[in-house]
Structure 1
Amino acid sequence: MKKSKPMKIPIITLLTLLVFLSSCNKYKKLDYLEFNKAYTNFIELATNEYGAKYGIAIAVVKDDSIIFEKYLGMADVDKNIKVSKNTLFYIASITKSFTAMAALRLEAKGKLDFDKSLAELLPEINFAPDLKADSIKIEHLITHTSGIENNPLRNLKAYSGSYDKNNLQTILEKFTVVNEDAPFGKFEYTNTGYIILGMIMEKELGVDWKSLVQQEVLQPLKMKHTSTQMSKAIEQGLEIAKPHTQNNDENKLVRLFLEKKDNTMHAAGGILSTAKDMARYMVVALNNGKIDGEQVIDSNLVKNSQLKHAKQNRMWYDLKRFGYGYGWNIATTPLGDTLVHHFGSFTGMHPQFSFVRETGVGVVIMANEGKISYDLNMLLSAYVFDYFSKRENLDTHYKDKLKEYHENYTKKKKSDTEYMIKLAKRTWKLELPFSLYAGTYTSDLFGTLLVKEVEENKLIVTIGNLKSDIATPHRTNAIRVVMGEEGSVVQFVVNDGKVEKAIWKGLTFTKMTH
């Protein structure tokens, strides 16, 4: 039998095809030259208005391509390292959409049963009857409608990291309570559901959520500059943006020292990524699981994840959030566009990921500052969506919004300053000498809380990854500490002239006696 010869394509045809493709790309870029110029001008105007010096990484996607990238400011002010396309940022709660998609893919493969209740998935835990563990399913955990809350679990997982993995089920059993503000079936945003989902995934498959997200989402999308483990990113020598603040009277860029570690990278917030890698994720979100001509995630899973599965009614800046999908907020913009999005927040970090399917536009904004960046990120993303939705008098509108946002920020900063002045006027209400509050406080479940007198009548507190500034006065036998950017209270229990316990955010530690 005669073998058929492979078809030969004339060289002239190949050249014609290459010229055609090159022309298409050229015209595609030309289409967005006007946008790039307008957006670059607005970015400059907005960052100058706020005097932003912190790191910002921006990627804009249209349909299936990145049409704009911009890298500004400092990744680490102390080491004078600037943000580049290779800089990884902590994406905080945007992680939820990755965890949800990993769970959906595992369900589709028959490896995770969404029909089983919390009681069935974790039968070794004796849940209180009022928690309705027989009714709560994975979908409720993903959509924030489980009706339960566990503050100790959230604080340990997100902030202190001072827990033994073997004690997590005990903490889940002992400290899970009914969410009185949002009972079963009602939406209220929380990290708790996703942390529990992470525990379920590991129990059911014998692999932690970090590896499952890597396997089910990051690898298929070829997100090679994205990591669920801080230690591995550091070992690989990847450039990681450090947390900063400019929320001070001098508008000075100041390095913060509370950073994520492996023990606080959790299923509700535990991924590092670059703007460019997140843009790949955006292309997949906008194109129903397809990228580079390949269907990497089932289109039905992607589309279903972006539908409203829970009802919510809350405002975020100018966005009216009306629904929540599987790891996605769904809102209406002032122009009436439907915005699918998720933002993130942690000490010195604020990323945003949002897209409008109708126009095929998505915006990734990473920032390593957690105060000014809230205003700027909202303005910088909204400008893009309104540009492609053809808002009239766009530049005039955003100059006005910029002025409005900045004035509100200035008022808030003034209010914060007045509050700090008020705090400084508080007098100490410690009944015993300062030295008697110093010492080591322990808990079988929550690790160690250390109170140290660094100078006479000056106390600092350390809990796992957290270390405070010098404590300030609070109520009777209590001190106020700042660990990161936010203040919290350590309440001491005193009996018969002795300090017996310290309570921080609902976690109780017993003082060791020598």
Structure 2
Amino acid sequence: MKFSLACLFSLLISLSGLAQVQKASQNSDPFFHIDSVLTSVLKDQHIAGFAVAVVKGDQVIYSKGFGYRDVENKKPVTTNTLFAIGSSSKAFTASLLGLLRKEGKLTFEDKAVDVLPQLQFYNDEMNNQITLRDLMAHRSGLSRYDSSWFLFNTKDRDSIIARVKYMQPKVGVREKWFYNNFMYLAQGMIAERFSGKTWEQNIQEKFFTPLEMTRSNTDIKTFQNDSDAALPYTLEKDNTIKKIDYYNINGMGPAGSINSSVNDMANWLKVWINDGSFKGKEIVPKNYITEAMSSQMVMSADLPDKHSDIFLANYGLGWMIGSYRGHYLVEHGGNINGFSANVAFFPSDKLGIVVLTNQNVSKVPMIVCNSIADRMLNLKPEDWNGEVKAAAAEKALQVKKETKKMPAPNTKPSHPLKEYTGSYTNRAYGTIKITFNGKDLYTRLKGEKIIFKHFHYDVFDPRAIDKNGKVDTDQSDLMFNFTTNVEGKIQGIELFLDGNEKPVLFDRDADKK
């Protein structure tokens, strides 16, 4: 077949036009090539799986699952796969108080101890000053005390909240921002008191049902038994993906026990970027929406650093607030055993992004959220995946250089092991009950069976025992140091908890006669 010069010229013009159309299409489509980018994140971050949904206005414009919800059985993540969202639950809990305020049942300036009598603080000054707004914005002056609920969990909320009375403040009320999960437990209990219903029932009736969040729940058993639930994983030092157990935080539920999918969470985001409404119906009062995503407390200076256009770290009511490359960002992350999450929205841009993963303390929600935001906001994309990958490699080198704590040689416990048994209590945390089976010392933490391995002197290394009876081989960061009184009898346990420079003392309970 022969072509004339005219035909050839016409063909070249057509191909050139087609290329320009394709290029224009690529430039106008923020999701062009995004699947490839996110697949690279899955591989480079050694993550089991994740799901993402993007909301623009009142429409979901992108949703997809990547990787596996069950690695061993190669079950893929879908947009309906359930993940634990951890502290991304806090915006739900705070919103319950927003609804109660609308009903005239409380104000955010009410004293917390008046609204919830079970809640008492360390001193009268705190009791007289701390308001509901202080609880919501983490302005109580109390540091995290997370080991209290994490190591000594119970479903009895009255029992957990009673520990707050024994928690010593780091600073005065409203002097400095300190994240404290107990303050969100208190809010959930306040909602229970005024409604006569459990926090779980309130979340279902006020949010899940009207928002058509049919996949979402607040119960660990319902979560575990779901046919499309993600299994929890962590990443070992050699980048091996390891399955871990689900963790039931039922007692502290209002601070972080919601389980959801990206499709369901997209409906929650629609509320926040549409003035509190969903399908024309008010879910959360508009004035509360504005207040919740406004700065209530400075978290830190967070000055421009490597990225000069990212700065500011403030807290609203259940939300964190920042400036992302010239755009107002409202977001909240979430971490609970084997799961990480990020729920974010840009109110001025009517844009929302939710990323849920089944990997412990993962950077993937941030990487994916930022990667999509760059494209949706017409910004020059940063290599967020490459940055985190490089930082992880550098950290891995540092870890290799670190050495394990070495025990002093030729030491032994000062007493027969049986004399270490008993109950040891710190009222801000809980009780450690130590038993002896004739050979070894045992206890339970986080609901797990723990065996004590002698380290040196009266210091013991607690190792978890899995369901198959296998003992953890890694050295624990939480060493138990048994103390004695002037008579030489075992009287307490010292533990370094929550980053404190001084050990926390658990006193041995008097023997019951």
**TM category, shorter:** 0.7 to 0.9
Residue 104 of structure 1 and its aligned partner are, at CA, apart by 0.5
Q: In the alignment, does 2:235 pair up with 1:246?
A: yes
CA distance in 2 between partners of 1:41 and 1:125 (Å): 50
> Which residues in structure 2 correspond to 1:206-217 (within 5 Å)?
206-217=196-207
The answer on whether the counterparts of 2:160 and 2:251 sit within 8 Å (CA) in structure 1 is: no
The answer on whether the counterparts of 1:75 and 1:87 sit within 8 Å (CA) in structure 2 is: yes
Which residue of structure 2 lines up, in the alignment, with residue 102 of structure 1? 96
Which residue of structure 2 lines up, in the alignment, with residue 284 of structure 1? 271
Partner of 2:54, secondary structure, is strand
Partner of 1:161, secondary structure, is coil
Q: In the alignment, does 2:398 pair up with 1:415?
A: yes
- Structure 2: state its 5+ residue gaps: 1-24, 465-471, 498-503
When residues 455 and 366 of structure 1 are mapped into structure 2, their CA distance, relative to the original with a 3 A threshold, is: farther
| Match 2:386 to one of 386, 403, 406 | 403
| Match 1:326 to one of 310, 317, 338 | 317
Partner of 1:276, secondary structure, is helix
Which residue of structure 2 lines up, in the alignment, with residue 350 of structure 1? 340
Which residue of structure 2 lines up, in the alignment, with residue 510 of structure 1? 508
Which residue of structure 2 lines up, in the alignment, with residue 91 of structure 1? 85
Q: In the alignment, does 2:296 pair up with 1:296?
A: no
When residues 67 and 455 of structure 1 are mapped into structure 2, their CA distance, relative to the original with a 3 A threshold, is: farther
The answer on whether the counterparts of 2:330 and 2:345 sit within 8 Å (CA) in structure 1 is: yes
CA distance in 2 between partners of 1:344 and 1:307 (Å): 20
Residue 89 of structure 1 and its aligned partner are, at CA, apart by 0.9
Residue 391 of structure 1 and its aligned partner are, at CA, apart by 2.0
The RMSD of aligned alpha carbons is 3.4
Opposite residue 56 of structure 2, the aligned amino acid is: K
Residue 440 of structure 1 and its aligned partner are, at CA, apart by 4.7
Q: In the alignment, does 2:431 pair up with 1:431?
A: no
CA distance in 2 between partners of 1:434 and 1:406 (Å): 49
When residues 324 and 452 of structure 1 are mapped into structure 2, their CA distance, relative to the original with a 3 A threshold, is: same
CA distance in 1 between partners of 2:264 and 2:119 (Å): 39
CA distance in 2 between partners of 1:166 and 1:140 (Å): 20
Partner of 1:488, secondary structure, is coil
CA distance in 2 between partners of 1:453 and 1:431 (Å): 14
The answer on whether the counterparts of 1:158 and 1:266 sit within 8 Å (CA) in structure 2 is: no
Which residue of structure 2 lines up, in the alignment, with residue 338 of structure 1? 328
Which residue of structure 2 lines up, in the alignment, with residue 172 of structure 1? 164
Residue 226 of structure 1 and its aligned partner are, at CA, apart by 1.1
Which residue of structure 1 lines up, in the alignment, with residue 455 of structure 2? 473
Residue 44 of structure 1 and its aligned partner are, at CA, apart by 2.0
Residue 145 of structure 1 and its aligned partner are, at CA, apart by 1.1
Opposite residue 463 of structure 1, the aligned amino acid is: L
Partner of 1:87, secondary structure, is coil
When residues 325 and 428 of structure 1 are mapped into structure 2, their CA distance, relative to the original with a 3 A threshold, is: farther
Residue 470 of structure 1 and its aligned partner are, at CA, apart by 6.4
- Structure 1: state its 5+ residue gaps: 1-29
User: CA offsets per residue over residues 396-442 of structure 1, 9 Å max, x none?
Assistant: x42xx4333212111212323433x3335666865336734764535
CA distance in 2 between partners of 1:347 and 1:441 (Å): 27
Identity %: 22
Q: In the alignment, does 2:357 pair up with 1:367?
A: yes
Residue 161 of structure 1 and its aligned partner are, at CA, apart by 1.3
| Match 1:36 to one of 15, 31, 56 | 31
Which residue of structure 2 lines up, in the alignment, with residue 391 of structure 1? 379
How many residues were matched structurally? 466
Q: In the alignment, does 2:207 pair up with 1:220?
A: no
Partner of 2:236, secondary structure, is coil
Partner of 1:133, secondary structure, is helix
The answer on whether the counterparts of 2:137 and 2:318 sit within 8 Å (CA) in structure 1 is: yes
The answer on whether the counterparts of 2:82 and 2:228 sit within 8 Å (CA) in structure 1 is: yes
Residue 450 of structure 1 and its aligned partner are, at CA, apart by 4.5
CA distance in 1 between partners of 2:102 and 2:161 (Å): 27
Which residue of structure 1 lines up, in the alignment, with residue 250 of structure 2? 263
User: CA offsets per residue over residues 170-212 of structure 1, 9 Å max, x none?
Assistant: 4232x132222x6435322222321222233333443332222
Opposite residue 278 of structure 1, the aligned amino acid is: M
CA distance in 1 between partners of 2:480 and 2:162 (Å): 23
Which residue of structure 1 lines up, in the alignment, with residue 444 of structure 2? 462
When residues 122 and 366 of structure 1 are mapped into structure 2, their CA distance, relative to the original with a 3 A threshold, is: closer
CA distance in 2 between partners of 1:37 and 1:459 (Å): 59
| Match 1:138 to one of 123, 129, 132 | 132
When residues 142 and 165 of structure 1 are mapped into structure 2, their CA distance, relative to the original with a 3 A threshold, is: closer
CA distance in 2 between partners of 1:382 and 1:368 (Å): 19
Partner of 1:167, secondary structure, is helix
CA distance in 2 between partners of 1:330 and 1:230 (Å): 30
When residues 356 and 80 of structure 1 are mapped into structure 2, their CA distance, relative to the original with a 3 A threshold, is: same
- The TM-score normalised by the length of structure 1 is 0.79
User: CA offsets per residue over residues 283-323 of structure 1, 9 Å max, x none?
Assistant: 11111122234333332222222111222324499652332
Opposite residue 171 of structure 1, the aligned amino acid is: R
Partner of 1:364, secondary structure, is strand
Residue 243 of structure 1 and its aligned partner are, at CA, apart by 2.0
| Match 1:161 to one of 127, 131, 153 | 153
Residue 223 of structure 1 and its aligned partner are, at CA, apart by 1.3
The answer on whether the counterparts of 1:226 and 1:277 sit within 8 Å (CA) in structure 2 is: yes
Q: In the alignment, does 2:491 pair up with 1:493?
A: no
Opposite residue 398 of structure 2, the aligned amino acid is: S
When residues 437 and 88 of structure 1 are mapped into structure 2, their CA distance, relative to the original with a 3 A threshold, is: farther
Which residue of structure 2 lines up, in the alignment, with residue 67 of structure 1? 61
Residue 460 of structure 1 and its aligned partner are, at CA, apart by 5.5
Opposite residue 422 of structure 1, the aligned amino acid is: K
When residues 202 and 31 of structure 1 are mapped into structure 2, their CA distance, relative to the original with a 3 A threshold, is: farther
Residue 271 of structure 1 and its aligned partner are, at CA, apart by 0.8
